[in-house]
Structure 1
Amino acid sequence: MMKFTTTDYIIFVFLLLLSSGIGLFHAFTGGKQRTTQEFLLADRSMSFLPVALSLLATFQSAVAILGVPSEIYRFGTEYWFLGCSYILGLVIPAHIFIPVFYRLKLTSTYEYLELRFNKTVRICGTLTFIFQMVIYMGVVLYAPALALNAVTGFDLWGAVLTMGLVCTLYTTLGGLKAVIWTDVFQTFIMFAGQLAVIIVGAVKVGGMGEVWRIASENGKISGINWNPDPFERHSFWALAIGGIFMMLSLYGVNQAQVQRYLSSKTKKEAIRSCYAVFPCQQIVLALGCLMGLVMFAYYKENEATDLQKLSSSDQMVLYFVMDILKDLPGLPGLFVACLFSGALSTISSAFNSLATVTMADLIKPYFPGITEARATLLSKLLALGYGLLCLGMAYISSLMGSVLQAALSIFGMVGGPLLGLFCLGMFFPFANSTGAITGLVAGLIMAFWIGIGSFVSNLKTNPPLLANTTGIPDTGNLTTAVMTTLLTSASTKSPTGLKKFYSLSYMWYSAHNSTTVIIVGLIVSLLTGPMKGQDVNPRTIYPVLPKLLFFLPENYKKKLNCGVQFGRKSDRSSVEIASDSETSGHHRHTTPVP
C-alpha cells in the first residue's frame, strides 16, 4: 500500500478549497443567485467556451478516467474508434435538439414533453430522469473513493464525505454559474493529471516509440474490425454507429447537458459550444488510450508483485500512478486531484440538474403563485437535499458489493429510452401521448431485461484479463460501462438462446432501447388514433423528412409534414420574438405559443 506525502495532500486540498472558493465567489457577486434564472440557468449569460469545457467535464467523470486506461490495457486500442461517433453525436444535437429546446426557452428539458404531448408524459420523463441520476451520483462518488482507499489507504469515508460536502457547498451557494466555472478549472486539472502520468510513464519505458512497439508486438494496437455482427463486443459499427446513440442520449436530451446549452447567451453560442467540445473530447479519449498503452508497456517491462492484492482491474490505474510517481512528490496528489475533479464535475451537474427538474416539473406547475424569492430559496434547498441524498446513495453503494456494476449500468439503461421518447415527439408528428407513455415503458422494460440478464450472465462467465502480467482477478470493467452504456460481454464461448440475446454488444444498447420506444410508440399511436397535424405545436417538431428530401417539390414536402402548420402567423411571430430576444440580449422566460 502506497502513501501520500505532505505535498500530495497540499495539492489535493488546494483543489477542494479552490472549487469551494469559486462557489462562494458567485454566491456573493453579480446577482448573488437571487432568482431561479440565475441559480438554475446562470441568467442565460454564458459564452460558448466555458459551456463547452463544462459539457466535457460532465462527460469525463472519474469512472471514465479510471475506466478507459483499464479498457485499453485489457482489450487493446479498439475502443479508440469510439471517437468516430463524436462527429454526428455532436452535430445532430447542435442542429436539431438545441434549436428546438432553445427557441422554446425551457428551464427543464421535460417541459418539452408537456408542450408536445401532455403533463403525464412530462412527469413520466422527469421521474425516470430523477431515478437515473440519484442512483448514478452515489456510485460516481463512491467508486473512485473505493479505488483510492484500496491502493493508497486514503480514508474511504473521509474521501466520500469531503467530496460530497465540498460539491454540495459550491453547488448550493453558487448555482449553475459556479458549477460551470468550477468545471472549467477541473477540466484543466484533469488534463494536467493525465498528461503527467503519460509523460513520466513513457520516459520510464523509453519514450512513446518504445511504448508503441511493445503494445504492437503484444497485439494491443487494434485494426478496424468491420464485422457487422451486433453480438461482437467492439467493432467499427458498434463503436461508430452505436456510439452515436450513446452520445445523443448524453448530449442531445440529458438535462445536465441541455441545461448548459440553455445557459448560453444565444442559440449561436449554444451551437458553438457543441462544436468546441468535439476536439476536446478527442484529446480526452486520446489521453485515456495513451495512458492505457503506457501502463501496459510499463508492466510488460517491469514485474510488479503487489498486483495480485488488487480486487479489480479498475484499481490498477491508481496502482500504476502511485507506482511510477512515488519518487515525484506532488504528482500523485495531482492525479488524485484529477480523479476527484472528474467526480466533482459529474456530481455537481447531477445536483443542479435534479434541483432544476424538481422545481420546474414537480413544484412550480402545482404552485403557480410561488414568489421568485421563495422559489430560489427552495431551489437551493433542493440542491442541498440532493447533495445529502448523494452521500446516502454512496453508503448504499458500499453495501451492494458486486451489484455495484448493475447500479452503474442503470445510467445507460435509462438514457436510451429517454432519447427514444424525445425522438418520437420531435420527428413523428402523428405520435400521441398514449404511444409516448407505452413506448417509454416498453423501452425501460426491454432495457432492464437485457441489462440485468447480461449482468447475471456475465457473473457466471467473467472474461479473463488479456494481459498476463497481472494477477488481478477480473470482476468486470466497472467504469467503462458507465462511460458508455452497459456492462461488457466478452465471453469466449458462443452463447445460444436467451444467453445469445443477452450477449448483444453493450454499445448497441442505447440504439436498441431508443428504437424500441419509437417503434412501440408509433404502433400504439396508430392503433389509438394518431394526432392530427393541426393539433401539434409546430415549434416542438423538427421536420426531418422534408429536410432530408429537400429536392422534392414543395407540395410533396408539405405532405411529409403530416399536416403540421409550420407557416402559421402565430408561430412566425413567436419565433421572431425569440430571435429578437437572442439578438438584444434580453433573456426573459417566455411562454411558448401553443
Structure 2
Amino acid sequence: MHTLDIVVMVIYFLALIFVGFIGARRAKTSEDYIVAGRNLGFTMYLSCLAAVILGGASTIGTTKLGYQYGISGVWLVSMLGIGIIGLGLFLVKKIYHLKILTISELLELRFNAQTRFISAAVTALYAIMVTVTQVIGMGTILNVLVGWDLTLSMLVGGGIVLFYTLLGGMWSVTMTDIVQFVIMTIGIFLVMLPLSISKAGGWANLQQTLPASYFDFTGIGWSEILSYFLLFCLGMVIAQDVWQRIFTAKTLKIARTGTIGAGVYSFLYALAVSIIGMCAFVVLPGLNDPQNAFAQMAVTILPTGLLGIVLASVVSALMSTASGTLLASSTLIVNDIIKRFSKKPMSETRFLLTSRITTLIIGLIVITCSIWIQDVLVALDVAYAVLSGSVFLPIILGLFWKRATAKAAFFSIVISAIVIITGLAIEGLTSTNPILYGLASSLVSIVLISYFDPSKNLSEAEKKMEQVYETPEQKQNAL
C-alpha cells in the first residue's frame, strides 16, 4: 500500500473514534444506549440496518464464493435479503409496538421467564459468533494489505470497534453506520465493481474466459443454497442485532419500509460482490487462499488514493456489523439475564455501567475467539446454525400459534440447541444436517408438549400481548 492509502484509512479510523466520543455524550439513558432513543428517521434507519446486515462474510465471503463458483455466489447474501424482507412484511407490525429491547423479552411476554433466559443465552452466543466473523475479516484485510501479523490485525480492528461501541452504544453505532454505509456503497458500486470488470477485459471477456457454470445461478449447488436458506434466511428473521435496529425506528412505517429497502439493497450488494469475485478469478488465477480475493484484487487494480477509500469501505462493512452484534450480545446478557434476575432494582446509571462493562468483557472474548478460529464462513455457519435451528420456531409459533405453551417453548429451545451442538461436533462445523435435526426436534417437541401440556393456551402475559396489538396507537400508525 502507498503511504497515501494508509493515511486515508488512518483518518477514517480516527473519525470513527471521534464519532464514538460524540455518541457517548448522547447516550444518557438505557434506551439511548441500546436503541438510540427509538428516534431514527427513514434515511438513518435504512442506512444503519443495511450496514449491520452486510458485514465481513457478505463482502469477503461472497467475493470468495464468486471466485470459486461464479454468479451463484450471490445466494449467501441474497438469503440475508430474503430474510430481512420477510421480517419487514410479516413480523415488524407484530413486534414494533411492544416497546421491548430484545427477542427474549418477547418470549417472556408470550411464554415465561425461563424461556426468556434460555433464548437470551442462545441468541447471545449467535451475536458473539457473528462479531467474531467481522473481526476475522478485519484481520484478513489488514494482514494482506498492510502486512501485519494476522493476530495483530485482529487486535487493531476489533479494538477500534470495541472502543467506540463501549463509549456510546447504539448512538455511536448509528452515527458510524451512516458514514460506513455511504463509504461502502461508493467503494463497492462506484469504484471496485466498474474497475474490476474493466481490469478483467469487460463483461464480454468474462463470458469467453470463465467456465459456463460461472454464469449459472444454481452453479453452487442446491444443497448449498438450502444450507444458506436454513442458516441465513431463517437466522435473519430472528437476529437480535436486526430486531434491535427495528426498535430504533421512529414510526412503524419507517420500520417496515426501511427494513424492506435494506433487503433490496442486500440483493444488489450480493450481485456486485459476486461479480468482483468472478473478475478476480480472471485477473488473479490460482490464489492459494480465495478468502483473500477481495483484498488482493483491490491491491492489483486500484490506483493510489482509491485503494485507501475502497479498503475503508470494506472495513466499514465489517465494523458496522461487528459493532451491532457486539451491542446486541451485551444487551441480551444485561437486559435479559443480569437485570431480569437481579435481586435489586437496576437504576439507569447502574444499567449503563453494567452494559459497558459487559460490552468490554464480550469484546475481549470475541477477539480471543477470532484469533482461535480464523475462518469467516466457518464462524458464521456456527452462529446461524445454533440460532436458526433452536430459536426460529419458538418465536414464529409463539407469534402465530396460540396453542403453543411456555413449557413447550422452553424445552424446544433446550432440546434443539443440544441436538445442533452435538450434530456439529459429530459431523463437522460446516455440515447442514445439524440444522435440519435442530429444526425437526424443535418442531416435534414444541407441538407434542403443547398438546399434552395441561397449561392454559393463553397466559396472562399472552393476553397482555394480544391487547397491545389492539391499542389505538398501533391502529393509527398502521393506517
Report the TM-score, using the length of structure 1 for normalisation: 0.73
Distance 1:79 1:255, change over 3 A: same
| Maintained 8 Å contact 2:143/2:149 | yes
| Equivalent position of 2:326 in the other structure | 351
| Maintained 8 Å contact 1:246/1:510 | no
CA positional deviation for 1:81: 5.2
1:423 to 389, 393, 396: 396
The C-alpha deviation readout for 1:473-508, integer Å capped at 9, x for no partner, is xxxxxxxxxxxxx73xxxxxxxxxxxxxx6xxx4x8
| Maintained 8 Å contact 1:421/1:514 | no
Distance 1:575 1:512, change over 3 A: farther
Aligned partners of 2:235 and 2:181: how far apart in 1?
22
Distance 1:92 1:321, change over 3 A: closer
CA positional deviation for 1:106: 0.3
Distance 1:368 1:255, change over 3 A: farther
Aligned partners of 2:208 and 2:182: how far apart in 1?
30
| Equivalent position of 2:412 in the other structure | 439
5+ long unaligned stretches in structure 2: none
| Maintained 8 Å contact 1:139/1:397 | no
Aligned partners of 1:204 and 1:8: how far apart in 2?
20
| Equivalent position of 1:374 in the other structure | 350
Aligned partners of 1:573 and 1:276: how far apart in 2?
24
2:105 to 111, 117, 126: 111
| Equivalent position of 1:180 in the other structure | 174
Distance 1:290 1:350, change over 3 A: same
**Is residue 15 of structure 2 the alignment partner of residue 18 of structure 1?**
yes
Greater displacement, 368-377 / 170-179: 368-377
**Is residue 336 of structure 2 the alignment partner of residue 361 of structure 1?**
yes
For residues 17-416 of structure 1, what are the structure 2 equivalents within 5 Å?
17-28=14-25, 32-80=26-74, 85=79, 89-146=83-140, 148-150=142-144, 152-195=146-189, 196-215=191-210, 218-222=212-216, 232-234=222-224, 238=226, 243=229, 246-250=232-236, 252-299=237-284, 307=287, 310=288, 312-325=289-302, 328-365=303-340, 366-367=342-343, 369-397=345-373, 406-416=378-388
| Maintained 8 Å contact 1:438/1:520 | yes
**CA RMSD after TM alignment:** 3.0
Distance 1:329 1:245, change over 3 A: closer
Greater displacement, 129-138 / 164-173: 129-138
Aligned partners of 1:454 and 1:419: how far apart in 2?
22
Letter paired with 1:352: L
CA positional deviation for 1:245: 7.0
| Maintained 8 Å contact 2:94/2:469 | no
Letter paired with 1:257: V
| Maintained 8 Å contact 2:75/2:270 | no
Letter paired with 1:423: I
5+ long unaligned stretches in structure 1: 456-485, 488-501, 541-565, 584-594
CA positional deviation for 1:77: 1.8
Q: Secondary structure at the match of 2:198?
A: helix
Aligned partners of 2:292 and 2:469: how far apart in 1?
57
The C-alpha deviation readout for 1:542-571, integer Å capped at 9, x for no partner, is xxxxxxxxxxxxxxxxxxxxxxxx6xxxx2
Greater displacement, 45-54 / 387-396: 387-396
Aligned partners of 1:67 and 1:244: how far apart in 2?
17
CA positional deviation for 1:9: 0.7
Distance 1:329 1:441, change over 3 A: same
Distance 1:212 1:103, change over 3 A: same
Distance 1:324 1:446, change over 3 A: same
Distance 1:262 1:194, change over 3 A: same
For residues 399-548 of structure 1, what are the structure 2 equivalents within 5 Å?
406-416=378-388, 417-455=390-428, 487=430, 506=432, 513-529=438-454, 531-533=456-458, 537-538=462-463, 540=465
CA positional deviation for 1:372: 1.9
Aligned partners of 1:65 and 1:91: how far apart in 2?
20
| Maintained 8 Å contact 1:246/1:511 | no
| Maintained 8 Å contact 2:9/2:308 | yes
| Equivalent position of 1:575 in the other structure | 471
CA positional deviation for 1:406: 4.8
The C-alpha deviation readout for 1:115-156, integer Å capped at 9, x for no partner, is 111101100001112222334423431344145425651343
Distance 1:210 1:530, change over 3 A: farther
**Size of the alignment, in residue pairs?**
475
CA positional deviation for 1:428: 2.0
CA positional deviation for 1:202: 2.1
Aligned partners of 2:151 and 2:187: how far apart in 1?
23
Distance 1:87 1:10, change over 3 A: closer
| Maintained 8 Å contact 2:96/2:247 | yes
Q: Secondary structure at the match of 1:219?
A: helix
CA positional deviation for 1:201: 2.5
| Maintained 8 Å contact 2:83/2:235 | no
Distance 1:153 1:370, change over 3 A: same
Distance 1:90 1:205, change over 3 A: closer
Aligned partners of 2:354 and 2:79: how far apart in 1?
39
* More contact order relative to length (CA 8 Å, sep ≥ 6): 2
Letter paired with 1:360: N
CA positional deviation for 1:107: 1.4
Aligned partners of 1:572 and 1:133: how far apart in 2?
28
The C-alpha deviation readout for 1:229-252, integer Å capped at 9, x for no partner, is xx94346xx38xx627732421x2
Distance 1:75 1:573, change over 3 A: closer
Aligned partners of 1:187 and 1:512: how far apart in 2?
37
The C-alpha deviation readout for 1:379-436, integer Å capped at 9, x for no partner, is 23332333333333334436xxx8x865442212112121122113112212222211
Q: Percent identity?
A: 20
Letter paired with 1:421: P
CA positional deviation for 1:259: 0.7
